[in-house]
Amino acid sequence: MVMTFVMKSAGRHKAMNAPEPPSSNSLRYLAVGVLGVAVLLGFYFIQLNAKVDRQREEAAERLTLCRHLEAVVGATASSREALQETCKQLSEQLLESAAPD
């Protein structure tokens, strides 16, 4: 009877010390997933920022060209008025795109 008690208690002791399921793997996967999402978002925002910068540069170039044409065409009044309106619109668009949100 003493022997059975020792074996039973040893069995219980083993069950109590059984390794728990590895939860560190799930934390590792979560960390890797969060890091992956952060890298993808960072790449996306870098691309978006580069695209907006290119658009601003193009708008500034168009405005410069428009003002140059306005100075060259100065002889005819009707052409000059149309160019002034176009340049004004380009200038407003450039200012709106440069304004912080």
* Alpha-helix residue ranges (DSSP H) falling in 23-99: 24-73, 77-98
What's the pTM?
0.53
What's the pLDDT tens digit per position in 39-98?
A: 999 999 999 999 999 988 988 888 888 878 777 776 566 666 777 777 788 777 777 776
How far, CA to CA in Å, does 95 sit from each of 19, 66, 98? 65, 15, 5
Within 8 A by CB and 6+ apart from 67, the residues are: 87
Cα separation, 45 vs 61, whole angstroms: 24
What's the pLDDT tens digit per position in 9-23?
A: 555 555 556 555 556
How far, CA to CA in Å, does 27 sit from each of 3, 22, 96? 43, 10, 45
